[in-house]
């Protein structure tokens, strides 16, 4: 049976980055349990509530921890998806096109599996809370998970986008790519109603929009960035 090369790339990248993700989730859970135990004994109420949770608050749960830290984690994954990987694949006789398609596939797998993992962890957490008698019946809207999927994809692709910019062009133009990325991230945060504590962001006056519009805008941003990456990597020279 001969598999499509891009699928081989996709699965191979999913395998590698997925294993990083398992480490990350493991650390996340350990830190979360650790801080939960600490707050339980000190009795401090930890206020980490997130307006990002669409309509209403979930309170403090693994969802908050995951939502915040995953952005940084997947941004880093994106940054690491360029140089080493494209060289590895082209060295193994894979076209840039298949590398590109495969990476996009793996991002999809990663975002879905990460969101699923978070949902399962939240379920477990609620279950344990209930057993411990710590009632906390909160309704998590499905859109919350949709947002996680979009966030993971968006942060991953902007990381990849920056790395592709630096790889293809020089350092100065790479800086421009970082600036573009900051703008994209601001828009993403704004439309989903998150506040970013940076003066520049406040000046930009990005308003929270309806959920469906936010989905649409996020999708457009993602498609735009992914298309730009294709242009950057289409005929790129493989560096030593």
Partner 1 sequence: MTQKIKADKMSLKFQNKQVLTNISFELEGNKIYGLLGRNGAGKTSLLSVLAAFVKPTIGSIKVDGEHVFENAQVMEQIIFIRDVKLDDETGKAPTYIKDVSIFRPNFDMDYAERLIKRFKLPTDTEVSKLSRGMQSALHAIIGLASRCPITIFDEAYLGMDASAREIFYEEVLNDFMEHPRTIILSTHLISEMESMFEEVLIIDQGELILHEEAETLRESGVSVTGAVEQVDYFVQGKHILKEQVLGGTKLAMIYGQLSEQEREEAKAMQLTLGPITLQELFIHLTKEDKQ
* Cα 129 to Cα 47: distance, rounded to the nearest angstrom: 18
Contact present, 138 and 63 (Cβ < 8 Å): no
Selected binder of partner 1 within 26, 34, 56, 84 (CB under 8 A): 84
**Residue appearing with tokens 């191979």:** 12
Summary count for the chain: helices (H), strands (E) = 8, 0
Q: In degrees to the nearest 10, what's the CA dihedral of 122, 123, 127, 133? A: 50
Task: List alpha helices for 132-240, DSSP H.
Answer: 142-168, 171-191, 199-204, 211-233
Please identify, using beta-carbon distances, which residue of 29 and 96 lies nearer to partner 1. Answer: 96
Rule CB under 8 A: is residue 44 a binding residue for partner 1? no
Residues 6 or more apart from 181 whose CB is under 8 A from it?
158, 161, 162
Piece in contact with partner 1 (CB under 8 A), picked from 27-35, 90-98, 138-146, 155-163: 90-98
Rule CB under 8 A: is residue 205 a binding residue for partner 1? no
Piece in contact with partner 1 (CB under 8 A), picked from 85-93, 133-141, 172-180, 215-223: 85-93
Window 210 to 239, contacts with partner 1 (CB under 8 A): 235, 237-238
Selected binder of partner 1 within 52, 94, 121, 164 (CB under 8 A): 94
Rule CB under 8 A: is residue 96 a binding residue for partner 1? yes
Task: Number of residues interacting with partner 1: please give it, by CB under 8 A.
Answer: 18
Per-residue binding letters, 1-30, with partner 1 (x by CB under 8 A)? -x--x--x---x------------------
* Cα 143 to Cα 52: distance, rounded to the nearest angstrom: 11
Q: Which residues bind partner 1 (CB under 8 A)?
A: 2, 5, 8, 12, 84, 90-98, 235, 237-238, 240
């Amino acid at each position: 049976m001969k598999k499509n090369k891009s699928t081989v790339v996709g699965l191979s990248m999913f395998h590698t980055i997925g294993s990083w993700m398992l480490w990350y989730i493991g650390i996340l859970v350990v830190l979360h349990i650790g801080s939960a135990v600490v707050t339980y004994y000190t009795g401090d109420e930890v206020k980490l509530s997130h307006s990002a949770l669409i309509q209403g608050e979930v309170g403090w749960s693994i969802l908050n921890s995951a939502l915040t830290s995953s952005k940084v984690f997947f941004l880093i994954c994106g940054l690491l998806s360029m140089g080493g990987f494209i060289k590895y694949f082209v060295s193994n006789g894979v076209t840039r096109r298949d590398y590109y398609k495969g990476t996009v596939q793996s991002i999809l797998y990663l975002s879905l599996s990460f969101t699923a993992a978070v949902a399962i962890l939240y379920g477990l957490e609620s279950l344990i809370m209930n057993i411990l008698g710590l009632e906390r019946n909160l309704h998590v809207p499905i859109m919350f998970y949709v947002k996680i999927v979009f966030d993971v994809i968006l942060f991953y692709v902007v990381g990849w986008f920056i790395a592709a910019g630096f790889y293809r062009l020089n350092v100065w133009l790479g800086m421009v790519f970082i600036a573009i990325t900051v703008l994209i991230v601001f828009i993403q945060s704004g439309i989903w109603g998150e506040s970013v504590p940076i003066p520049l962001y406040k000046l930009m006056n990005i308003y929270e929009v309806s959920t469906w519009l936010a989905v649409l805008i996020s999708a457009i941003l993602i498609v735009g960035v992914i298309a730009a990456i294709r242009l950057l990597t289409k005929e790129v020279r493989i560096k030593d």
